[in-house]
Amino acid sequence: MTVTPIALNRVDWHSLADLSLAGEVLSREQAHAVLEAPDTDLLDQLAAVYRVRRHYWGNRVRLHFLLNAQSGLCPEDCHYCSQSKISSAEIEKYPFMAQEKILAAAERANTLKAGTFCMVISGRSPSERVFGEVLDAVRQVKARYPMKICACLGLLDETQTQQLAAAGVDRVNHNLNTSENNHGNICTTHTFDDRLATLQAVQSTGMTTCSGGIFGMGETADDMIDMALALRRLAVTSVPLNFLIPIPGTPFAGRQALNPRQCLRILCLYRLLLPSQELRIAGGREVQLRQLQPLGLYAANSIFVGDYLTTPGQAAQADYAMICDAGFVLEGPDGEIMEPPMAG
């Protein structure tokens, strides 16, 4: 009988987890090894990465609820986005929502046990009128519900971020989306430095920052690594990791989807490079991770419940079942453990 020898260059994934837990930064060679590992190593990778996740987050999963409060009509040319000026995608377009609709969405978010209500508007940056309406909406939601509020409003300056903080916004989202080197391939109407300036304006107020990216846009492994290192340098608090949905009518409509194992390796890398941050499996998880979604929770500790900006998400009850069946529990806005509604 012929015995196949064990590969001598096999990576010890637990040693990488030890480095991460010790606060060390993986070398570029080690980061490449995570992304380029064979499928046969995937479960070993996840087991090692889960040690890091468990150290900081236990077996808890946070839920976020996303509201597209103003849709379409955006002057930017982000190639992945169905709301951009260069998109011909058939989406619903509307100005900033009436307050009663926002409050109804907040009520649904609270019912679904979301710890964070994420209010998003399309556009480069809010007009003075829209910004005032956002502030009013924040105050009203904050007065009625115990959820934290995250606002995603495009490019912001320090005066605007100070007003958001005073109104009760807990966190501002502004994604880097990709590496500095790759940014020009996905958007030309604003720069990577513009995005950095917004995040720095948010941090100057004491609010926490939410920033992540999108994978599957033609980026290289080095782009993925560079973005993670940029987020680490910025010390962002929350990191949404999106997987591209190639929406018809956008320039990236023909992009080939990542396979679920690639997505899991990306989540593993980001947990090792961002060990203490909240990692959220965001847009595209249902499309790209497919049947392997539960395994993503061994690296990430947060998901969106409900729909995304212009694409539908998985039913909330399916998310609860996925979380509970995998042995995880829901975490509320203040860290308390919550029972999922109508849990079976």
| 180-227 confidence digits (pLDDT tens) | 999 999 999 999 999 999 999 999 999 999 999 999 999 999 999 999
Task: Give the model's pLDDT for residue 72.
Answer: 82
The larger pLDDT score, comparing residue 136 to residue 83, is at: 136
Task: Give the model's pLDDT for residue 94.
Answer: 87
| Confidence check: pLDDT of 105 > 60 | yes
Marked catalytic residue, from 53, 60, 265, 280: 280
- Give the three-class secondary structure for 82: coil
Domain map (residue ranges) of the chain: 38-327
pLDDT band, residue 7 (cuts 50/70/90): very low
Q: Which of 2-11, 21-30, 94-103, 191-200 has the lowest mean pLDDT?
A: 2-11
Marked catalytic residue, from 53, 152, 195, 210: 210
| Confidence check: pLDDT of 298 > 80 | yes
Marked catalytic residue, from 60, 81, 152, 271: 81
Other Cβ atoms less than 10 A from the Cβ of 59: the count is: 16
Q: Which of 45-59, 150-164, 303-317 has the lowest mean pLDDT?
A: 303-317
C-alpha distance across the termini of the chain, in Å: 50
Average pLDDT of the chain, as a whole number: 92
Mean pLDDT, range 138-166, rounded to an integer: 96
Q: How far apart are CA 187 and CA 275, in angstroms?
A: 29
pLDDT band, residue 111 (cuts 50/70/90): very high
Marked catalytic residue, from 118, 187, 263, 268: 118
Marked catalytic residue, from 62, 78, 152, 265: 78
Assess whether 324 carries a catalytic annotation: no
Question: Which amino acid, 142?
Answer: K
Q: How far apart are CA 291 and CA 260, in angstroms?
A: 8
Q: How far apart are CA 161 and CA 201, in angstroms?
A: 7
| Confidence check: pLDDT of 341 > 90 | no
Could you give the residue ranges of the DSSP H alpha helices within the chain?
Answer: 13-21, 28-35, 42-57, 99-111, 128-144, 158-167, 192-203, 221-234, 260-273, 293-296, 316-325
Mean pLDDT, range 301-307, rounded to an integer: 87
Q: How far apart are CA 329 and CA 313, in angstroms?
A: 20
Q: Which long-range contacts (CB under 8 A, 24 or more apart) does 8-14 make?
A: 10/41, 11/37, 11/41, 13/41, 13/44, 13/45, 13/47, 13/48, 13/49, 14/47, 14/48, 14/51
Mean pLDDT, range 117-136, rounded to an integer: 95
Mean pLDDT, range 232-254, rounded to an integer: 94
Mean pLDDT, range 251-267, rounded to an integer: 93
For the 38-327 domain, the top CATH level (class) is alpha beta
Q: How far apart are CA 140 and CA 242, in angstroms?
A: 29
Assess whether 187 carries a catalytic annotation: no
Q: How far apart are CA 247 and CA 245, in angstroms?
A: 6
- Percent of the chain scoring above 70 in pLDDT: 95
Task: Give the model's pLDDT for residue 9.
Answer: 63
Closest CA relative to residue 224, chosen from 27, 53, 31: 31
Assess whether 152 carries a catalytic annotation: no
pLDDT band, residue 333 (cuts 50/70/90): confident
Marked catalytic residue, from 74, 187, 263, 268: 74
Closest CA relative to residue 171, chosen from 156, 183, 193: 156
Structure tokens at 8: 């001598």
Mean pLDDT, range 224-239, rounded to an integer: 98
Task: Give the model's pLDDT for residue 297.
Answer: 98
Task: Give the model's pLDDT for residue 340.
Answer: 81
pLDDT band, residue 259 (cuts 50/70/90): very high
| Confidence check: pLDDT of 342 > 80 | no
- The per-residue DSSP string of 284-297 comes to TIIIIIGGGHHHHT
